[in-house]
Every structure is written in structure tokens, then in C-alpha cells.
Amino acid sequence: AQSVTQPDIHITVSEGASLELRCNYSYGATPYLFWYVQSPGQGLQLLLKYFSGDTLVQGIKGFEAEFKRSQSSFNLRKPSVHWSDAAEYFCAVGAWGTASKLTFGTGTRLQVTL
């Protein structure tokens, strides 16, 4: 069965500092990986996705993620965090295909201090 682990429940960083959110997955085939962000009271917004090709993918809002097959990881990074990045971040894994079911991690809540 597929699964996603986000080991950090809560992270606090200072504005302007770099950020890395960890995501480890378990999947039997080639994974389709996503990062979503959720602001309070809102739905989930896609930050970026990876299926194949370049293992470093760029997303919206200055975020990027790197797929490392040997480590089963898909960590999210941002070089300089802004106060508006405070939110909850979810990693998800699934298969290619319209009927694919996505499995989500439990999320990492990011707090940004000024």
C-alpha cells in the first residue's frame, strides 16, 4: 500500500531564512508526487508536481522540490521564506492515471517569525 510520511508536524523559521520540509513516500511503482499548501479556512492549492524528467521541479511562490528515488524522498524547499508562507503543507503520492487515488501525508504546519 502507498503511504506518505511527513516527519515534522510543526516548523518555525524566521522570515528570510531558508526552508526545507521533508516528505518520504512508500510506493511500489513509479510515483506521481505533489506538494499542496493550505491556508487557514481554505482548500488545498497545488504548489508543484513530479512524475518524470528532471528530478528538481519548480513550483509556484518560489518553491521547489527534489525527487530522490534512492531515498524515497520528495522534500520541499524555499531559499527565503516570507511571512505569507505561513500555512500547512501536504505531500501526496499516487499513480499516473485519472482514476489514481492520492495518499496524503499528515501535513507540516509552518510558522514564520518576523
Residues forming contacts to another protein in the complex (CB under 8 A) are: 4, 9, 34, 36, 41-46, 49, 51, 90, 92, 96-107
Closer residue to another protein in complex, CB, 38/72: 38
105, 91 Cβ separation under 8 angstroms: yes
35, 91 Cβ separation under 8 angstroms: yes
Closer residue to another protein in complex, CB, 101/114: 101
Minimum separation from the CB atom of position 80 to another protein (A): 25
Minimum separation from the CB atom of position 103 to another protein (A): 8
Closer residue to another protein in complex, CB, 49/77: 49
Closer residue to another protein in complex, CB, 28/97: 97
33, 93 Cβ separation under 8 angstroms: yes
Minimum separation from the CB atom of position 47 to another protein (A): 10
Instruction: Provide the pairing of β-strand 87-94 with 32-38.
Output: antiparallel
Could you tell me the CA-to-CA distances from 68 to 6, 52, 54, 72, 73 in Å, in that order? 15, 12, 11, 6, 5
